[in-house]
Amino acid sequence: MTQLNGEQLLGKLIAYDTTSTTSNLELIDFVRNYLDDFSVHSKLVYNDDKSCANLFATIGPDDVAGVMLSGHTDVVPTSGQNWHSDPYQMKADDEAFYGRGACDMKGFLACVLAGVPQMASHKLATPLHLAFSYDEEIGCVGVKKLIDAMSGFEVKPKIGLIGEPTDMAMVLGHKGKAAFQVEVIGSSCHSAYINRGVNAVEYAAELIAFIHKMNAEVQQRQQLDNTYTVPYSTFHVGNIKGGTALNIVPKQCQFEFEIRNLPQDDLDSLVHEVKHFAQDVLLADMRQRFEGSQISFSSISNYPGLSTSRNSEVVAYTQSINPVNEFGDNASFGTEAGLFDQQLGINSVVCGPGSIDQAHKPDEFVSRKQMQFCNQMIEKLINRCTEDFSI
Ligand SMILES: [Zn+2]
């Protein structure tokens, strides 16, 4: 393969429609072949039906813990958005590159891949690890398979750079999230005889009211963290469906809710409070009237928050290679950094080209300037990995 520059690589990556939950295998094949051309071997970790894959590769010594460059390959849908050009055909002007995923986060992946020939030809003393995931946009779903596989690796990366769009500022914190679908099952009857049934919609409403009240409750008892735009853990119900007709006591009601926690708040115990009310208060009451009543929770997604210390090695290291030597505000959006950090002990910083303001929007773009900064960071990183035996 002829060597491709960052712009050409970005064009290629954007051209693969990798909307979350659709296959990312064509993009992964392209990356794999590209890496092969520089004699870089990669491992794939698939989802259950083998329609999507994570890719992991190490460049440099395989018996030393190195620096992980990580990003997701999936993008959000373009449906319903008014684009001025084909979102899967990169458009460039003097200022920027446009296309779905330009900043979130194929721009970062393109910069990393553009550095591969150099990474492969230098004798790296500290290895670089590439970790590309799928289905991040639907709640960091795909990377969990990669993390499971990595937990069995003899040598794991020591620190991680997660290239989500931060305008190349170093972001050290974000909230965690747990999202659930809840199904409430009661018992149906004619609405003229409501005492013979168990109204699933009304019990669901009680649970929703409890979830809503948790917002005020946590603000009372938690220390507010003003480094976040919303400085407390939040509870939110996003949709509801239940019942069939006004004159029937509804048997079934379904809704979805999420909790976004400050990293210092224990997500499991917040979830437990909701489940406790559902099971021990509401369900107990429902079952007194109908033994077959049920309230069940199915997890939609779940990832921890990130809280990297300013004094940590990964911050000093990133500062030494990043031309944009600034800290960004804690992110309102989640990333895979919290999972890498908590589950594998890979201390991580979120830092990548482009702005979250452009992510998920029509005419998404990453500026040429931001791509240059990221390329400079990768180049410095390669130099540092060549010289340095320590991280
Ligand atoms: Zn992203």
pLDDT of residue 332: 82
pLDDT of residue 309: 96
Mean local confidence (pLDDT), 47-73: 97
Say if residues 68 and 339 touch (Cβ distance below 8 Å).
no
For residue 367, how far is its CA from the centre of ligand 1 (angstroms)? 16
For residue 209, how far is its CA from the centre of ligand 1 (angstroms)? 32
Cβ partners under 8 Å of residue 98, min gap 6 = 85, 90, 91, 92, 363, 364, 365
User: What is the pLDDT of the chain when averaged over all its residues?
Assistant: 96
For residue 72, how far is its CA from the centre of ligand 1 (angstroms)? 7
For residue 131, how far is its CA from the centre of ligand 1 (angstroms)? 14
For residue 354, how far is its CA from the centre of ligand 1 (angstroms)? 11
Mean local confidence (pLDDT), 244-265: 97
Q: How confident is the model at residue 184 (pLDDT cuts 50, 70, 90)?
A: very high
For residue 118, how far is its CA from the centre of ligand 1 (angstroms)? 26
* CATH 3.40.630.10-classified regions of the chain: 6-173+305-387
Whole-model pTM above 0.85?
Answer: yes
pLDDT digits (tens, 9 = 90+) for 3-17: 789 999 999 999 999
DSSP codes joined into one string, 222-255? SPP-TTSSS-S-EEEEEEEEE-S-TTEE-SEEEE
pLDDT score of 388 more than 80? no
For residue 2, how far is its CA from the centre of ligand 1 (angstroms)? 29
For residue 360, how far is its CA from the centre of ligand 1 (angstroms)? 9
Say if residues 323 and 329 touch (Cβ distance below 8 Å).
no
pLDDT score of 151 more than 60? yes
Mean local confidence (pLDDT), 214-232: 92
Strands of the chain, DSSP E:
42-46, 53-59, 67-72, 91-92, 96-98, 128-133, 159-162, 173-174, 176-185, 189-190, 234-242, 248-249, 252-261, 294-303, 306-307, 347-350, 365-367
Angle at 56 between CA 136 and CA 173, to 5 degrees: 45
pLDDT score of 370 more than 70? yes
Mean local confidence (pLDDT), 266-276: 96
For residue 75, how far is its CA from the centre of ligand 1 (angstroms)? 8
For residue 222, how far is its CA from the centre of ligand 1 (angstroms)? 29
For residue 77, how far is its CA from the centre of ligand 1 (angstroms)? 13
For residue 337, how far is its CA from the centre of ligand 1 (angstroms)? 11
For residue 101, how far is its CA from the centre of ligand 1 (angstroms)? 8
Task: Of 220-224, 229-233, 291-295, give the lowest mean pLDDT range.
Answer: 220-224
* CATH 3.30.70.360-classified regions of the chain: 176-303
For residue 176, how far is its CA from the centre of ligand 1 (angstroms)? 15
Say if residues 369 and 118 touch (Cβ distance below 8 Å).
no
Q: Tell me which of 2.30.30.60, 3.30.960.10, 1.10.150.130, 3.30.70.360 is the CATH number of domain 176-303.
A: 3.30.70.360
Could you give the percent of the chain with pLDDT greater than 70? 98
pLDDT of residue 333: 85
pLDDT digits (tens, 9 = 90+) for 323-369: 998 999 999 889 999 999 999 999 999 999 999 999 999 999 999 99
pLDDT digits (tens, 9 = 90+) for 110-147: 999 999 999 999 989 999 999 999 999 999 999 999 99
For residue 286, how far is its CA from the centre of ligand 1 (angstroms)? 42
For residue 291, how far is its CA from the centre of ligand 1 (angstroms)? 45
For residue 137, how far is its CA from the centre of ligand 1 (angstroms)? 6
Q: How confident is the model at residue 389 (pLDDT cuts 50, 70, 90)?
A: low
For residue 242, how far is its CA from the centre of ligand 1 (angstroms)? 33
Mean local confidence (pLDDT), 186-211: 97
Mean local confidence (pLDDT), 35-54: 97
pLDDT score of 1 more than 70? no
pLDDT score of 2 more than 90? no
Residue 41 CB-half CA count within 13 A? 4
For residue 164, how far is its CA from the centre of ligand 1 (angstroms)? 5
Say if residues 85 and 97 touch (Cβ distance below 8 Å).
no
Q: Tell me which of 3.40.50.970, 3.40.630.10, 3.90.209.20, 3.30.1490.20 is the CATH number of domain 6-173+305-387.
A: 3.40.630.10
